[in-house]
Chain A
Amino acid sequence: MREFGYERAVDVSGAVTLLDTDPDARFLGGGTNLVDLMKAGVERPARLVDVRELPLDRIESAPDGGLLIGATVTNSDLAAHPEVRRRYPALAQAVLAGASGQLRNMATVGGNLLQRTRCGYFTDVTAPCNKRLPGSGCPAIEGEHHNHAILGASEHCVATHPSDMAVALAAFDAVVSYETAHGPGELPLADFYLPVGDTPHLETALPSGALITGITLPPAPVATLSRYRKVRERASYAFAIGSIAAALDVRDGVVRDVRLAFGAVSSRPWRATAAEHALRGAPADAESFAAAADAELAAAEPLPHNGYKVTLIRNLVVAVLTELTEEAAR
């Protein structure tokens, strides 16, 4: 493990200036992923800039009815916030479905977005991995991949993004705000994660040295009836093998609005736009839900050992949308 320096940032401009002048530095949030990766030798920063004390730890209602979530809000505080639970219940459920109480107390919203894949080849420095060592190859494609991507992967990388929170944020059109030494910027979550292509080591569209300062959730009345369901290989404390964030607005048996995003199927939270398109105006019944899932999953390219995920996601779409339809009727 490489020796590293540690500094605590006191303001945002100081933090981004530190990173701008030192390409070997990393921001440290809760450290729940970065520190593990440092111990494994995957990350070897020369300096850590701790941003957890920055004044970005508030959740506020926006004038338009949305929510502004600071980047250093902990996962625990995000999940417990009354307005999150009331207006975006799937987001609170997604956060609570991840990690453990101890980890959620440490982990920050900004860090959660930037956590790295848990692919076992990525975290083993003795293995080839195009994401960790570009050009070295992807052993998962021929090797162990029963929990790897079925959507949006490439011949260079089939890793999945591990976040539950980001799946709900994707469903609700979140926008990520950031600051750099050269000024602030914004990225819709849909553009935040880069396609894998032949550059799996480039994961986000954030400019170099940028610090995530917060997330904006636009107002979404549909989100008040929403749900996150996560399937994993044990009842708790495991990453998803398939998950879904869904929101539904049904009137008179017809889908007026719907949001769908999938987790553990791609290098990013997968917003199911084709399924949503198929559902708007369709009857709210199991047949439409299944057809919509099929429309989305037509693009799936499973590997020999992860084809079950196609069925899993299809079943989750039908099950969760059916539950939400029943709830809407009550």
Chain B
Amino acid sequence: MTTTTTGTSTVNGSVGTAHTRVEGRDKVTGAARYAAEIPFDELAHGWLVVSTIARGRIRSLETAPVLEMTGVLTVLHHHNAPRVDSDYVGMLGTPDPTAAVFQHDRVPHMGWPVALVVAETPEQAREAAEALVVRYEEEPHDVAFSGERPDAYAAEGHMPAVTEKGDLDSELAASAVVVDAEYTTPEEHHSPMEPHAATARWDGGRLEVLDSNQGTTWVQGELAKMFSLDPDSVRVRSEHVGGGFGSKGLRAHQVAAVMAATALQRPVRVVLTRRQMFSLTGYRSPTTQRIRLGADADGRLRALEHRSLSLTSTVHEFVEPSAGVARVMYDADAHHTANRLVRLDVPTPTWMRAPGEAPGSFALEAALDELAEKCGIDPIELRARNKPERGPVSGLPFSTHNLLACFQEGARRFGWADRDPRPGLRRNGRWLLGTGTAAASFGAGAMPSTAVVTAEADGTFTVRIAAADIGTGARTALTLVAADALEVTPDRVHVRIGDSDFGPAMIAGGSMGTRSWAWAVTAAAAELRERLTLGTGIPPEGITVRSDTSAAIGALAQKERHSFGAQFAEVAVDVTTGEVRVRRMLGIFAAGRIVNPLTARSQFVGGMTWGISMALHEEAVRDQASGGHYGADLAGYHVAAHADVPHIEADWVDDPDPDDPVGIKGIGEVGIVGAAAAIANAVWHATGVRHRHLPIRPDRVLPAGAAAEGERDA
């Protein structure tokens, strides 16, 4: 991948220069140990038994024969498991009671944890778990998700459920051009490479949990509340994490491991299988979204409506806020958005890379492309004409708004100016070719964190912060940030992360991890430098400074704070077989100051790759009769393979955040936003057919065919 960074900020110091991962050698040689790989004496292994019905009650568990099996130590279930408290408010709200395992006999969805079999070896535990006979009183289930649900209700989640400004009907009536379409996205799963895994043990009166998660103090706090423990008596460590994407918070495996370690008074490890991950670690809800756009002939929006329906379980409310993206991207005289929810007998969904924005941008940015076509305006020009001056709903000013700079640079590098907007004209052998574009945005925030920085007597510095490197390169980024803040070279800085003993810190989530941690590290380092300038010399134990950014972050002015991006895609479609291939992609982002160009580019490219996957491949299928998944493994659930991923270029424009000490905005999620829409828009440009339902798979493309003249809907 050859790219030239267009950012023009002068680089003095380490931030902004490319660094390989500080733990890279450990990872590629296998020296880095992940949660399920760390050895313990006397380790016992737990295996979850999950429900085979979608709704009902557990009538009985025949544990006696299982307890007779070789190596089996115990079977935990709702009759004998420790009671836990799930009625509390944690760092990110009330917990999903799915994690509070074995508390009652109700089964609210297929794959619900009903027992944990613990044995001396994982093989014995698994064999015994599979042998455990569980009898149920089955009740009829309802897993039918559709836009027609009469029981749907407006739901808040972390933003208002409904926003309404102006008279939608009259503005639509007054519009020269109207787009009115329904878009759907399927259930999608995080599928990190490393399955969820935890080892729990009691060590000198302290509970220690080695885990794979996105925030050690987060999980520490949840476990302390759930088991009614003093937070100081719980230590959670998570040094290396093989991907999370929103799925790695408090889950059934940690709670079950703690219960078993408590019952047996020996270390217990619980690892989820890939199939169990489909029902126990969250997912992105399917969405049905209706978009109505009304515009004058010049493309200026008079009316914008974005309504999204998602689903949640019967035990916990989670909203996929897909309509939220419209509250940021485009203004209109009449502007209505709503996030609605229906509760079904399914597992609880959760945050998944760009929650809300990923599916929401597919619908909204595809609708914008339809509007551009109807108005006869270039899609980029249409977006330029509708750039909001202030937050369309909030009325607040934007901290920075560099979307058009992204489009400008992207259009230049992609060769957009030469594009013939008419669909269905370009052919290369059996392939029809097309190009498409879409805008991206994601919120740029920071959350309070604490960091500890020590000047060691040997001239090095040690940074301790409960950050999580879930594969993003956060550990390396923080090394560069600390080096600059301390005005030393990165090789003199050692960053230790993934340990709740280091104090409260933001999770790796919401594209806020690196920014929040960098702020705390910078604050501690600045104070430490002041202390060092006093020149008293460094004692053998070093000089340590602790920071807490709560006050600084609390004092931030209210603004619309976002990263932006412009996505471009070229696709080839064979309408006789339904195959769609992405030939190239380009993403240009305005996402704050880039700390480490090497890993930042990987993160953008990773997001865009996921966009290909979302556009063309991913769909978790729920069997309506059983209420469970069909093909719940990585053979059945397709993600893009290497051969699906073409040349992808990701780059950025200069966009430092004026209110952040380092200028960071956060880059974890914006890379996937708009990517699926750019691909769908390119498929239209290739074939003349609008595909409004993801994934754009051969069984949809083939029957839809091509339409060189006029519009066809698939």
Contacts and interface: CB of A to CB of B under 8 A. Distances in A.
Interface of A: 1-3, 41, 118, 120-121, 123-124, 126-127, 139, 142-144, 146, 231, 233-238, 241-242, 305-308, 311-312, 315-316, 319
Contacts of B169: none
A235 B698 contact: no
Nearest to A242: B577
Contacts of B127: 1-3
Given A1-B127, A41-B130, A126-B52, A236 B642 contact: yes
Nearest to B619: A233
What 9 pairs between A and B have smallest CB-CB spacing? A120-B631, A235-B643, A236-B643, A315-B576, A144-B630, A120-B630, A237-B641, A126-B52, A236-B641
A143 B640 contact: no
Given A1-B123, A120-B636, A144-B621, A234 B630 contact: no
B630 A1 contact: no
A1 B624 contact: no
A123 B632 CA distance: 10
A236 B641 CA distance: 6
A139 B625 contact: yes
Given A234-B638, A238-B638, A316-B577, A308 B644 contact: no
B584 to A, nearest CB: 14
Interface of chain A: mostly helix, strand, loop or mixed: loop
B206 to A, nearest CB: 34
A221 B633 CA distance: 43
Interface string B605-641: 0000000000011000101111010111101101011
B702 interface: yes
Contact of B644 (A235, A312, A319): A235
B698 A308 contact: yes
Interface of B: 52, 123, 126-127, 130, 430, 576-579, 581, 616-617, 621, 623-626, 628, 630-633, 635-636, 638, 640-644, 697-699, 702-703
Contacts of B643: 234-237
A121 B578 CA distance: 25
Contacts of B628: 124, 126-127
B123 A3 contact: yes
B628 to A, nearest CB: 7
Contacts of A118: 635-636
A1 B130 contact: yes
Given A235-B581, A311-B703, A143 B642 contact: no
Given A1-B130, A308-B698, A236 B635 contact: no
Contact of A241 (B636, B644, B699): B699
A242 to B, nearest CB: 8
A143 B578 contact: no
A2 to B, nearest CB: 6
A234 B634 CA distance: 13
Contacts of A234: 616-617, 638, 640-641, 643-644
A178 to B, nearest CB: 29
B623 A144 contact: yes
Given A120-B631, A126-B628, A312-B577, A233 B638 contact: yes
A312 B698 contact: yes
Contacts of B631: 120, 123, 144
Contacts of B581: 235
Contacts of B699: 146, 241, 305-306, 308
Given A2-B127, A139-B623, A233 B697 contact: yes
25 contacts: A1-B130, A120-B630, A123-B631, A124-B630, A127-B623, A139-B623, A139-B626, A144-B630, A144-B631, A231-B578, A231-B579, A234-B616, A234-B638, A234-B643, A235-B641, A235-B644, A236-B641, A241-B699, A308-B698, A308-B702, A308-B703, A311-B702, A312-B578, A315-B577, A319-B577
Nearest to A306: B699
Contact of A319 (B576, B630, B635): B576
A34 to B, nearest CB: 15
Given A1-B127, A235-B643, A237-B641, 17 more contacts: A121-B630, A124-B630, A143-B623, A143-B624, A143-B625, A143-B630, A231-B577, A233-B617, A233-B638, A234-B617, A236-B642, A236-B643, A308-B698, A308-B703, A311-B703, A312-B698, A315-B576
Contacts of A319: 430, 576-577
Contacts of B123: 1, 3
B430 A308 contact: no
A298 B127 CA distance: 48
Contacts of A142: 625
Contacts, number: 92
B133 to A, nearest CB: 13
A243 B498 CA distance: 49
A306 B626 CA distance: 21
Contacts of A305: 699
B212 to A, nearest CB: 21
A231 B642 CA distance: 16
A93 B641 CA distance: 19
Contacts of B579: 231
A143 B624 CA distance: 7
Nearest to A118: B635
A160 B640 CA distance: 23
Contacts of A233: 617, 638, 697-698
A308 B703 CA distance: 6
A121 B629 CA distance: 10
B698 A231 contact: yes
Contacts of A231: 577-579, 698
A39 B518 CA distance: 44
Contacts of B632: 120, 124
B644 A236 contact: yes
A1 B340 CA distance: 43
A149 B680 CA distance: 29
Nearest to B628: A126
A293 B641 CA distance: 31
Contact of A312 (B430, B623, B636, B702): B702
A284 to B, nearest CB: 19
Most buried by B among A41, A120, A139: A120
Please indicate which of the listed interface residues A233, A237, A311 has the most CB atoms of chain B within 10 Å of its own CB: A233
B378 to A, nearest CB: 31
A41 B578 CA distance: 35
Q: Which of A1, A235, A236 has the most CB of B within 10 A?
A: A235
Contacts of A123: 631, 633
Contacts of A120: 621, 630-632, 636
B698 A241 contact: yes
Contacts of A316: 577
Nearest to B705: A311
A41 B52 CA distance: 15
Contacts of B635: 118
Contacts of B617: 233-234
A307 B699 CA distance: 9
A194 B528 CA distance: 78
A306 B698 CA distance: 11
Contacts of A41: 130
A322 B463 CA distance: 67
A121 B617 CA distance: 20
A1 B126 contact: yes
Interface centre among B430, B616, B641 (most CB of A within 10 A): B641
A290 to B, nearest CB: 12
Nearest to B700: A308
A84 B87 CA distance: 67
Contacts of B640: 234
Nearest to A137: B625
Nearest to A1: B126
B443 to A, nearest CB: 31
Given A234-B616, A235-B643, A237-B643, A308 B630 contact: no
Contacts of A139: 623, 625-626
Nearest to B646: A235
A140 to B, nearest CB: 9
A296 to B, nearest CB: 17
